[in-house]
Amino acid sequence: MAVHVDGSGSFRGSTGIGFLDHMLAQVATHGMFDLDVTAKGDLNVDGHHTAEDVGIGLGKAFHEALGDRVGIARMADATVPMDEALANVAIDLAGRDHLTFDAEFRQDAIGDLETSLIEHVIGSWARHMGAAIHVRLLAGRDDHHKAEAIFKALARALDVATSLDSRREGQVPSTKGTLSN
């Protein structure tokens, strides 16, 4: 697992779960991250462990890529439409993990990804990245569109939050002078 936060928007690899790969490609493309994600799991059982491991791996890779987080914007939000779906994601890279996930899906799965695992992937990612992430699905009927709007909004918010703010040169973005890890 590798992440380049100042990337070109490329996704390489495979999780063995086609729809999860599709969502990770959205994150790479719309966040301008280079993601190299390869996972092999017990897909003969189900996708739970693989999806969870991907979230953990992404969280750890982003955590490492962000280092001491000096100079980053730290907080951001994005609202993204995908046809009839509309999602808002807000993120704080303060080093403390939290996930609020306010989205419901009609189907048990989208392609080969169980819809319950969408929250689990993002929660594992938040936990291991040290981020508070709030996901709000504001509209939508088609589950594919809803999931895609969520991942695109996550990508856009994460792109801004990880960006260097030239006004913060050498500064930790906190009034305490430190971020929790």
Question: Per the CATH hierarchy, to which homologous superfamily does domain 2-168 belong?
Answer: Imidazole glycerol phosphate dehydratase; domain 1 (3.30.230.40)
User: What does pTM read for this prediction?
Assistant: 0.94
**70-107 pLDDT, tens digit each:** 889 999 999 999 999 999 999 999 999 999 999 999 99
For the segment 20-48, the average pLDDT, to the nearest whole number, is 93
- Of 104, 118, 114, 72, nearest to 91 by C-alpha is 72
Domains of the chain, by residue range, sit at: 2-168
Q: Mean pLDDT, the chain, as a whole number?
A: 93
Residue 177 makes CB contacts below 8 A (sequence gap 6+) with none
In the block, residue with structure tokens 């994600």: 37
- Of 66, 56, 94, 64, nearest to 6 by C-alpha is 66
Q: Which two tokens stand for residue 144?
A: 């594919």
pLDDT of amino acid 156:
98
Q: Looking at residue 164, what DSSP letter applies?
A: B
**Buried-exposed string 125-163: b where 16+ CB fall within 10 A, e elsewhere:** bbbbbbbbbbbbbeebebbbbbbbbbbbbbbbbbbbbbb
pLDDT of amino acid 2:
94
